[in-house]
Structure 1
Amino acid sequence: MEETNWDYFDSDLTELILSHLSIPSIIRSSLVCKSWQSIITSSSFRTRVLTRKRPWFFLYGQNNVFLKNNQVFAFDPESYEWIKLPVSASLLSKDLFTGSNGFCFTITPENFSFKPVLSDSWSQTSPLIFSRCNPLLGVYDVPDKRSKLPRFIVAGGASFIGNLVDLGDRLAVEIYNPNQDFWELCPPLPANFRPGNSSQWLCSALFKRKFYVFGIYSFFVSSFDLEKRYWTSVQTLRPPGTLFSYLISLHDRLILAGLCNNIETSPSFVIWKIDEKTLEFIEMEIMPQELLSCLFDSSDEDDRFASLKCVGFGNLIYVFNEEHHKHYPACVCEMSNYSGKCKWRRLPSLPLPVNKFHKIVSFCSNVYLDVVRNN
């Protein structure tokens, strides 16, 4: 066999070079030769990739009339391209589908199921004590030698009474223990979040062992201590002129991102850094106006911004429009872990064809090489 330049590289250098590839390219590279496959399947390579790769952005579109039109898209920031994912049978339904911190979830009145992101294998837990729709979900780790699975926290949502939905019921927070297949009951969301205590009106963020709940339009905020199991008093977090905003947990920062109405200029999308102890805010970044203009209509309607949504994880914040006639445009802000400076870019268009959806579910998550390689 003819020698190549790769034959002169030691395994450490080859590992370093391969780790810079996008995850889909890494999977393809593992088929090139046995030595590369050995490197890519090693624990040191998996660790290197996990620490290097940025989280992916997922969009799940649900059509309530024609379920066959449901679609799932994933954006890989390394290759800077969208990937159209296959839709499993479990997603061809009206069940709630969402994701958080490496896991996907489906919730029905009878069942709660989860799987690692991009895995084909679902696991089903014992039913929630209180069946609900559109709750907030969080995933967090606890030191436990008996299980590598994290804890799942479910908060808020609207309760089911038969086939009807009760918007006014205050549902207890439930935390899932995978070792015992058991849901622990905890105090419900503070009464300030009722009505409208579902993920349609609220967002959540896990930061420093606390589960924050924030009103997108009400601007109420409270945090749940995951160790002591109590809610803090409700406060208001609203920078002047803010129309709506989202609370996001990045690597070492609690971030507020939202649309701000400036009397002197056109509305702007602003990112603030939040002090988790005092809830004081400092303006960090403003989205370039030309990017914001790409995300919404130029019409004069007051609600033209209402379809803007925002999610984030790691050091990335994604802002997108969930309206079909705009073809779901999106942009990303990459924030430096050290300086806090931001780099804005517009995302490419979704791969065609893109169906019409009645509901969009979006989230950011790390993608694990082992899961992708084994599916």
Structure 2
Amino acid sequence: MALTNDQIHGDILEVVLSYLPLVDLVPASVVSKSWNSAVTASLRWLNKPKPWLLVHTQSTRSPYEMSTRAYDHRSCAWVEVVNPAAKYVSALRSSHSNLLYMLSPTTFSFSIDALNVAWRHVDAPKVWRTDPIVAHVGGYIVVAGGTCDFEDDPLAVEIYNVGAATWETCESMPAILKDSSASTWLSIATAAGKLIVTEKLTGATHCFDPETKNWTGPYDLRPDQRVSLSIIGSSENRLILVGAIGDIGNIEGIKIWEVNTDNFDYQEIGEMPAGFVKKLKSETFGISSISLCMSGDYAHIYNASEAEEVVVCELDAAAGGGCEWRSFKNAVAGDGNNRMERVVLTSSEVSLAELRRAMGSEKAMFTVKM
């Protein structure tokens, strides 16, 4: 006999709801007051929301169509996202975290919401750039370096005040970064209200404060002299360092550290099991294009040249600290069309309220792909 809405209630309903993907809890929460309460209780006590990894693709051919799939760690399911607000301006890019942007000579478009469905389109910065670092820090968007040869200052820095909708020129990047001032050579993160910039090959690190508009550093983010590649990421002011150990062409292992942003001391969290290191290696690029995308306690490590496998380090999962390792296949990389597409990854902690807002005001649609 099928159960009716009146017969499914209390603890039974909460348990049933705990097995549903977060997307499906949006309609469930509006069935009735009792169902809304059960949804809330289920998320609070039985199966809490977990970060999403969003994989955005953009065709490299006209009309440059964009699409998004998201991996929800809570339900271990892929979600297809249809976003009518995403319009082509130029090449789709991301420097870190959940920031997406497109930069043309006339327009700077960016998205900083958790699901990357809301976009803002503003005037481009005064200095033209082809490969800058771009970060969302507090109420500012920082655009630095990556300029063309004909520009006077290859280290130029401009910040966009999101609230005031104005651009402002700031102190240039440190002169030592002159030969590596593009996102190709730099890894960035935001923590403690600052932009943190690390040279991938040396570990040399500098900080930029958009409030004072000043740079500090350098700091050494190479805990082990065998580290040949330093990649940083952050979540909730927690700065994480991923270091590839060994020669850049023959990586022996990958370790992860937590960095104190006050004195830049570091503490080792764990080492990636050899089997996962092997999954990250590319036949063409080896492991030199390793990238890190963080949200919550989840550090997503992948090879940006292919992104076929994503290795996840869940921080503090084990008793007494440390981390727990696992991996999953990138559903987008398996489509067979990725060679003709630009692939960009972001990661965010997604709430039920954010899903409701995205479905409502932004008119985005979400479909679970089990």
Identify if the C-alpha distance between structure 1 residues 273 and 101 changes in structure 2 by more than 3 Å, giving closer, same or farther. Answer: closer
Aligned partner (choices 176, 180, 187) of residue 196 of structure 1: 180
Match of 1:125 in 2: 122
The reply on whether 1:373 has 2:359 as its aligned counterpart is: yes
Change (3 A) 1:20 1:100: farther
Comparing 59-68 and 234-243, the one that deviates more: 59-68
The answer (yes or no) to whether the contact 2:55–2:69 under 8 Å persists in 1 is: yes
> What residue in structure 2 maps to residue 35 of structure 1?
33
Asked if 1:138 is matched to 2:135, the reply is yes
Q: Distance in 1 between matches of 2:97 and 2:44?
A: 19
Task: Provide, for residues 247-299 of structure 1, a one-character-per-residue CA deviation record: whole Å limited to 9, x for no partner.
Answer: 12233532110211189x961111012232332323221111111112225x6
Aligned twin of 1:229: 213
Contact 2:68 2:80 (8 Å CA) reproduced: yes
Q: 1:267 to 1:255 in 2, by over 3 A?
A: same
- Name the aligned partner's letter for residue 176 of structure 1: N
Task: Supply the AA of the counterpart residue of 2:304.
Answer: E
SS of the residue 1:130 aligns to:
coil
Aligned to 2:368: none
Q: What is the distance in 1 between the residues matched to 2:247 and 2:116? A: 45
Aligned ranges 1:255-334 → 2 under 5 Å:
255-261=240-246, 267-297=252-282, 303-324=285-306, 328-334=308-314
Equivalent position to 1:344, from 312, 318, 325: 325
Is contact 2:71–2:77 with CA below 8 Å preserved after alignment?
yes
What's 1:6 paired with? 8
Partners of 1:251 and 1:315 within 8 A in 2: no
Q: 2:145 aligns with which of 140, 143, 157?
A: 157
Distance 1:17 1:166 in 2: 60
1:75 matches 2:71 = yes
Indicate the percent of aligned positions where both proteins have the same amino acid: 21
| Residue matched to 2:171 | 187
The one-letter amino acid of 2:26's match is I
Deviation of 1:220 after TM superposition, in Å, equals 1.8
Normalising by structure 2, report the TM-score: 0.78
Tell me how far apart the structure 2 counterparts of residues 36 and 130 of structure 1 sit (CA, whole Å). 56
Taking a change above 3 Å as real, the CA distance of residues 347 and 253 of structure 1, as seen in their structure-2 partners, is same
Looking at structure 2, the residues matched to 360 and 329 of structure 1 have their Cα atoms a distance apart, in angstroms, of 13
Q: 1:206 aligns with which of 179, 190, 193?
A: 190
Q: Which whole-Å CA distance do the structure 2 matches of 1:176 and 1:40 have between them?
A: 41
Q: Distance in 1 between matches of 2:162 and 2:5?
A: 54
SS at match of 1:105: strand
Instruction: State the partner residue of 1:95.
Output: 91
Aligned-partner Cα distance in 2 for 1:7–1:323: 49
Structure 2 gap ranges (5+): 364-370
* Distance of 1:349 and 1:361 partners within structure 2: 12
Distance in 1 (CA, whole Å) between partners of 2:5 and 2:221 is 63
Letter of the structure 1 residue corresponding to residue 294 of structure 2: G
Q: TM-score, normalised by structure 1?
A: 0.77
Looking at structure 2, the residues matched to 359 and 218 of structure 1 have their Cα atoms a distance apart, in angstroms, of 28
The 1:26–1:284 alpha-carbon spacing in structure 2 relative to 1, beyond 3 Å, is same
- In 2, Cα distance between the equivalents of 1:323 and 1:101? 18
Shift of the alpha carbon at 1:99?
A: 7.0
Partner of 2:366: none
CA RMSD of aligned residues (A): 3.7
Paired residues for 1:246-257 under 5 Å: 246-251=231-236, 253-257=238-242
Q: Secondary structure at the match of 1:125?
A: strand
Q: Counterpart in 2 of 1:147?
A: none
Q: CA deviation at 1:363?
A: 2.2
Q: Is the 8 A contact 2:206 2:217 kept in 1?
A: yes
SS in 1 for 2:93: strand
In structure 2, do the counterparts of structure 1 residues 167 and 287 end up closer, same or farther at CA, with 3 Å as the change threshold? Answer: farther
Counterpart residue identity of residue 326, structure 2: R
**3-state SS of paired residue (2:79):** strand
1:189-209 CA-partner distances (Å, limit 9, x unpaired): 111222231222212211112
User: How do 1:52-71 residues align onto structure 2 when only pairs under 5 Å count?
Assistant: 52-65=48-61, 68=64, 71=67
8 A Cα contact 1:62 1:71, kept in partner: yes
CA distance in structure 1 between the aligned counterparts of 2:313 and 2:117, rounded to whole angstroms: 30
Conserved in 1, the CA contact under 8 Å of 2:257 and 2:266?
Answer: yes
- Pair 1:247–1:118, CA change in 2 (3 A): closer
Aligned length: 349
Partner of 1:25: 24
Q: Distance in 2 between matches of 1:93 and 1:226?
A: 26
